[in-house]
Every structure is written in structure tokens, then in C-alpha cells.
Amino acid sequence: MSPRRTPRPITRRQLLRDGAIGVAGLAALPLVQACAQPPPTPTPAPAPAAPTKAPEPTVAPAKPAAAKVGPTELRLSYWADIDTAGYKKCIETFNQTNPNIKINLELIPEQFRTKVQTQIAGGVAADVIRQNSGQFHAFALRGVWVLLDSYITRDKIDKGMWFEPSVYGASYLGKMYGVPSDLNDIVLYYIKPVFDQAKVPYPDNTWDWNKLLEVAKGLTKESKDPNQAQWGYHVVNWWPEYDTRTRQNGAHFWSDKYYTEQSKSVIDSPEATEAIDWTFGLIHKQKVSPGAAELASFAGGRHGMYQSGKIAMWIGGSWEAPLVLSRWPASAPAWDMTLVPKHPASDRGGAVWSDEHCLWVGSKVPDAGWEFVKFLSSDAGNRILDLDIGRSIPAVKSVAQDPKFVTMYGKNMKAAIDELGWSWPTSDDNPYSFEIGEIRTPLLEDLLRGVRDAKTVLPEMASGVNKMLVEKRGK
């Protein structure tokens, strides 16, 4: 469905950058029927017919057998080294009851997207592949993943054990092609010393847009020298913040709440325009957020500004707590998190994106792969990856609600759990999120630099996305 290092802390975009599918490369990826033979199944089924236009993903294996897996060796590929320790511990635990299954880890830290699609095209991809929002859907469209519904039914797995957005994120057109691992939403982060020095109470879950602006104004200190200035808020130039504000203002990116093959972009609605203008107005009108020029002039970037107390608040992904802020040096200021401020006249609303594990349709050992991904997404496996090691919000509810996670790092991680109650999957949960990103990014840059407003940008964005969809869908 966007993680980073000293002197600049890691960010999710950097960590997951190579976990995304390249637009041109994915477009050139042939359908799975042309690049690999369907995997052998316990009950052989005929190969699917060659799809046309919008192909239905493969449905193999149709009826997985319940027989025990014999001596087997498989590979798991992933992109972030922060996951290595967790995976090794998971393998050790899994092998206590599954000694016949040997699992080899394949870390691909550079150009993950390119290398995985090359492996798929060559018929040599890993048996289990970690995915995230957007790239998962793009591959699912092309029939790359094994359909898992029959495995889930056979093993009587209760999908209610996982948070609903993570189930949606691991599904395509209502069918599960992945098993939930973890998920993220967005929260409001704040630097405590900035509030302490101004004798201003910390943000809480009663805040709305008006309160955010009021406090941000009070904490902003203007200066011609960016190194001497202080800003009450920071508009982080990423889509989830804008997606959230448009939703809170009663708008959607898509004509449907969730993307469907019939959806079109309606991001140019009056409600979306109002929300986007309000957000970028925090930079250009209200002057409570640094703009592109100020950020560029500060050597430490945005996280350097946070650590030096130059910025009081920002909206960020819940993954920033375990993957970025908890890794700040001991000299960095204290921080915490709370719910995203709601719309003054309505309720909350936010974006959720997920990570999942998938079985490659060309794997010769899908049953063994299933046993392992089933463990990874169980209470025991999720507890290792997201509680013992610490990565994101666990997809398993019982793990996420564990007091150890709720108070992890001595912070209000409960805010991330509570935010899920008002959030739904990101509008980027669709097969064309990377093509959309190419259309959207330069337009958002215009808004960030203040050279255009939402009234001129959003119609161009909606038109560009809808034109692309017509071409891709072949309609």
C-alpha cells in the first residue's frame, strides 16, 4: 500500500521504497500463465484460460490437501533488514513443530521491486514473498499469487482474529491472496519540550482542525533564518495526510469507498478541494508549517527539525514510532502521539495500509509455504514480529491489545489502535497505485511550492487518473 538512519533517521518511504513495484517494469510483466507454470496442487486442476482485458487472478490451489508436509525447502524474500531478526526467531519457533520444512531467508535490500518481478518472469521467485499496499494489488491483478481462501477454510481459520483493514489489504476483488502481517494508520506526533516551554497542554483526542491551528499559531516563531525559526506544525508531503483530511471533510479519492474495477477518481469534488486547500494553507496562508524551501535549507531535514525542536507537531504513520522515533539518539527530545485531530463538524477518518505474506503461484511447495505464512500471521508469529521485535501494528488483535504493545517505548501506542476504529484502507489499495503516484506527485509538488491551488490541481489529477484507468482497463 512510505523506513532511514543517523544523522537523518530512517523513514518508511526509504525503507519501503524498494518494496514497491516500478510502473514501467510492472506494466511489462507478463501474465503469470506466460512466465511460470501453475504450481502442483494436491488435487490437480486444469490451468486457467488466458485472460483478456482485466484478468481474474489465478485460483490455484483449488483444494489443498490436509496431509503432513514432507521434507521441504523454501525461500522467503523481503526488503527490510529490520525484519531479519524477527524472521530468524519465527523460523526457529516454527521448526520446533515443523522440523521438515527448511526456510531460507532472501533479503533484497536494493531494487526489491525490480528483482522480484525479474524472478517471477524467469520462474525463479521465492515461494513466500512479503508485500505491502499497492504492490500487492498490482501483482494480484496479474495472477502472481496463490488464492488462499481454500486453505483458510480447510484449516478453519477465523479471519476475525485479524483487524478488518488488514484482511481487506490482503485481498483482491474479495478474495484473499495474502495473509495479514501488520498494518499502519496515521497519528499526530508531538515534541514535548516545545509544549513544556510554552506552558501549553499536550494534544489529546479532543482536538479538531481548529484547535490544531490555534495551538500551531501559538507555537510558531517566525524568523528570516530557518535555523532560528520554530513552526507549530509540519505538513509532511505525503498522500495519507491529504487522503485523511479529504475523508474527514466528506470526500473520497474514488467514486466508491473502496476501489473497484468500476471506480473512477472524484478527488476534484468541492469537499476534497476545501480539505486540500486548508491543509496547504497551513504553509502558505497560516505560515505555521515550513515549506519546501525551509526544509531544504535545514541540514537535518524534517527529522533533524523535529529533534532540534524546530517543529512541534506533525501527522505521520504509526510505523514511525517503532521504526524511526524510538531509534533517535538519547539526546533527542521526548515525544509522544495521539489521535489525528478530527473535522470540526464531523467525525474522524483516516487511512490504513498493510503488509502481508503471499505465496508465489509458481512455487513447487505451496503447502509448505502455507504452513509458514499461517504461522507468521498467528498469535505466536505476530507476537515475535511486532511485539518482541517491534515493527508496526500487529494484524492479530490479541497481540495488538497486549499491554506490552499498548505502552511500547513508554508511549501512547494505544492511539494507533484507537485510530483504526475510524479508519479504512488507503485509496492506494488498488492495482494502479504507482501509475497514480506518477500523476499525483508533481501536482502535489505544485501545491507544496504554492504555485497552484487545489481548484486547478485536483481536476487535472482526477482527469489524469481516469484517463490512465481507461487505458489500463482496455475500455
CATH number of residue 321's parent domain? 3.40.190.10
Cβ atoms of 45 and 132 within 8 Å: the answer is no
Digits of tens for pLDDT over the chain (475 positions)? 333 222 233 334 343 433 443 434 444 454 443 333 333 333 333 333 333 333 444 444 434 444 467 789 999 999 999 899 999 999 999 999 999 999 999 999 998 888 999 999 999 999 999 999 888 999 999 999 999 999 999 999 999 999 999 999 999 989 999 999 999 999 999 999 999 999 999 999 999 999 999 999 999 998 877 778 999 999 998 899 999 999 999 999 999 988 999 999 999 999 999 999 999 999 999 999 998 888 887 777 888 899 999 999 999 999 899 888 988 999 999 999 999 999 999 878 889 999 999 999 999 999 999 999 999 999 999 999 998 877 789 999 999 999 999 888 889 999 999 999 888 889 999 999 999 999 999 999 999 999 999 999 999 999 999 999 999 998 5
Name every residue whose Cβ is closer than 8 Å to that of residue 215 and which is 6 or more positions away in sequence. 200, 203, 232, 312, 313
- Bridge partner residues of 317 (DSSP): 186
Cβ atoms of 239 and 222 within 8 Å: the answer is no
18 lies in which domain range? 12-183+354-423
Per-residue model confidence (pLDDT) at position 32:
40
Residue 414 in grid coordinates: 494505544
Per-residue model confidence (pLDDT) at position 59:
40
- Bridge partner residues of 163 (DSSP): none
Residue 78 in grid coordinates: 523481503
Give the containing element (helix H, strand E) for 346: none
**Does one domain contain both 54 and 164?**
yes
Q: Which of 405, 423, 441 is the last residue of a domain?
A: 423
Residue 4 lies in a domain: no
Strand-pair category, 335-338 with 186-191: antiparallel
Residue 347 lies in a domain: yes
Per-residue model confidence (pLDDT) at position 475:
56
Cβ atoms of 334 and 193 within 8 Å: the answer is yes
Q: How far is CA 236 from CA 240, 285, 292, 300, 344, in A?
A: 10, 16, 10, 15, 21
**Does one domain contain both 408 and 325?**
no
Residue 255 in grid coordinates: 467514486
d(CA 267, CA 254): 7
Name every residue whose Cβ is closer than 8 Å to that of residue 221 and which is 6 or more positions away in sequence. 229, 230
Per-residue model confidence (pLDDT) at position 301:
80
Strand-pair category, 171-172 with 313-317: unpaired
**Does one domain contain both 212 and 288?**
yes
d(CA 108, CA 18): 9
* φ, ψ at 249 (rounded to 5°): -95, 15
**Does one domain contain both 178 and 265?**
no
Residue 3 lies in a domain: no
Alpha helices in 199-269 (DSSP H): 209-219, 239-248
Q: Count up the domains in the chain and report the number.
A: 2
Residue 7 lies in a domain: no
Q: Which of 406, 423, 440 is the last residue of a domain?
A: 423
**Does one domain contain both 102 and 202?**
no
Interhelix angle for 454-473 vs 433-449, to 10°? Answer: 170
Per-residue model confidence (pLDDT) at position 25:
46
Alpha helices in 249-384 (DSSP H): 270-284, 292-297, 301-307, 320-323, 366-376, 379-383
**Does one domain contain both 237 and 301?**
yes
**Does one domain contain both 24 and 124?**
yes
Residue 5 lies in a domain: no
Per-residue model confidence (pLDDT) at position 310:
93
Per-residue model confidence (pLDDT) at position 422:
87
**Does one domain contain both 128 and 267?**
no
Cβ atoms of 349 and 247 within 8 Å: the answer is yes
Cβ atoms of 418 and 205 within 8 Å: the answer is yes
Residue 42 lies in a domain: yes
Is the preceding omega at residue 57 within 30 degrees of 0, hence cis? no
Residue 94 in grid coordinates: 516454527
Distance spanning both ends of the chain, measured CA to CA: 25
Residue 174 lies in a domain: yes
- Bridge partner residues of 128 (DSSP): 76, 359
